[in-house]
């Protein structure tokens, strides 16, 4: 079973990761725009990629791995070039959605997050 976690905002993300222990399981993180009242992200690319990502998690993510959903904020917060997610060397985001394997080279950005073959490869790569 994949363990899913949800975090909203940079400070909450940093605090969560500081104390987080994956117990040896892969730690995968999806950075996406905050949700609107309708439950969808304000980021159209994030909405488009979501069903592909969810299917890949169900079919390709390893047992006992972790998947952390991180809301980077509303549109004005994200568009600020000083957004801490952009500056942090552990995340270094330039586009959302972005999916990374924590402290590993695996990374998908933007439209790549909606491609089933790339998602399968992302989850099949070992640390």
Q: Closest Cα to residue 28, out of 55, 53, 59?
A: 53
113 an active-site residue?
A: no
43 an active-site residue?
A: yes
Q: Decide if 63 contacts 24 (C-beta within 8 A).
A: no
Taking phi over 0 as left and psi of -120 to 50 as alpha, with beta for the rest, 63 belongs to beta
Catalytic residue, candidates 29, 46, 68, 70: 46
Catalytic residue, candidates 7, 29, 30, 43: 43
- 62-78 burial code (b ≥16 CB/10 A, e <16): eeebbbbbbbbbeeebb
Three-state DSSP state, 66? strand
Residues belonging to the active site: 43, 46
């Amino acid at each position: 079973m994949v363990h899913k976690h949800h975090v909203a905002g940079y400070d909450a993300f940093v605090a969560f990761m500081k104390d987080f222990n994956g117990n040896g399981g892969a730690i995968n993180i999806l950075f996406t725009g905050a949700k609107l009242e309708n439950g969808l992200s304000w980021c159209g690319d994030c909405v488009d990629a979501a069903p592909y990502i969810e299917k890949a998690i169900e079919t390709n993510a390893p047992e006992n791995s972790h998947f952390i959903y991180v809301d980077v904020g509303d549109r004005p917060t994200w568009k600020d070039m000083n957004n801490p997610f952009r500056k942090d060397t552990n995340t270094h985001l330039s586009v959302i959605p972005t999916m990374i394997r924590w402290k590993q080279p695996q990374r998908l950005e933007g439209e790549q997050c909606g491609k089933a073959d790339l998602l399968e490869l992302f989850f099949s790569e070992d640390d």
